[in-house]
């Protein structure tokens, strides 16, 4: 009987300890590209993701083939190493295979739902071409539509870009 009581007490303590585990942290993934990604003081961040083709074509005011299902993209945002202010970007992947799209980017404030949200504006000097990305946290960006509202994905594709790194992430959060 004492053994059964001891085993039950250990089981309950083990369950309680597991329930107190810290939640997983949102950390960058290791890049899956063949070439190393840019890094250094002049790089604000590198983000990769896949988005639905047809709706992004509408947002970008471009035409794509009817069978275009998804776009795989990578953004590299550069900054001034001293001031940390945004400078230029490179946008690679689907639609830009031969030559990456490049230009300026800026950090601006406000979405349709949150006037204090931090937003990346791609090509602020060409508003007709601008794409807006909401900064969810340091490691994730969300695509906004032309009205600066969040775009909602589905089971297969989303409008999310995650920070990537050349290094293997430490899953313990250390």
Residue 154 has pLDDT above 50, yes or no: yes
Q: What beta strand segments (E) does the chain contain?
A: 29-30, 43-52, 70-79, 86-93, 96-109, 118-122, 131-137, 140-144, 160-165
Closest CA relative to residue 76, chosen from 19, 25, 33: 33
Residue 4 has pLDDT above 90, yes or no: no
Residue 11 has pLDDT above 70, yes or no: no
Per the model's pLDDT, the better-predicted residue between 155 and 116 turns out to be 116
Residue 142 has pLDDT above 80, yes or no: yes
Residue 21: pLDDT band (50, 70, 90) is low
Domain ranges of the chain: 37-165
Predicted confidence (pLDDT) per residue in 70-88, tens digit: 999 999 999 999 999 999 9
pLDDT given for residue 172 in this prediction:
46
Per the model's pLDDT, the better-predicted residue between 37 and 48 turns out to be 48
- The Cα 111–Cα 27 span in angstroms is 24
Residue 149 has pLDDT above 50, yes or no: yes
Taking all residues of the chain, what is their mean pLDDT, rounded to a whole number?
84
C-alpha R_g of the chain? 21
- The Cα 137–Cα 106 span in angstroms is 16
pLDDT given for residue 166 in this prediction:
79
Instruction: State the pTM of this model.
Output: 0.77
Predicted confidence (pLDDT) per residue in 100-119, tens digit: 999 999 999 999 999 999 99
Residue 9 has pLDDT above 90, yes or no: no
pLDDT given for residue 19 in this prediction:
52
What would the CATH number be for the domain defined by 37-165? 2.40.128.640
């Amino acid at each position: 009987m004492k053994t059964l009581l001891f085993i039950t007490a250990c089981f309950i303590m083990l369950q309680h300890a597991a329930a107190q585990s810290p939640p997983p942290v949102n950390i960058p993934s290791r890049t899956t590209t063949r070439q190393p990604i840019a890094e250094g003081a002049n790089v604000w961040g590198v983000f990769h993701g896949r988005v639905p083709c047809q709706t992004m074509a509408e947002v970008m005011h471009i035409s794509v083939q009817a069978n275009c299902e998804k776009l795989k993209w990578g953004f590299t945002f550069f900054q001034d190493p001293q001031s940390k202010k945004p400078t230029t970007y490179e946008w690679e992947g689907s639609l830009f295979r031969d030559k990456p799209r490049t230009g300026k980017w800026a950090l601006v404030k406000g979405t349709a739902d949150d006037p204090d949200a931090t937003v990346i504006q791609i090509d602020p000097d060409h508003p007709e071409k601008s794409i807006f990305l909401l900064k969810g946290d340091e490691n994730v960006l969300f695509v906004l539509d032309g009205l600066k509202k969040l775009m909602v994905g589905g089971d297969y594709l989303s409008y999310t870009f995650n920070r990537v790194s050349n290094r293997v992430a430490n899953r313990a959060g250390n």
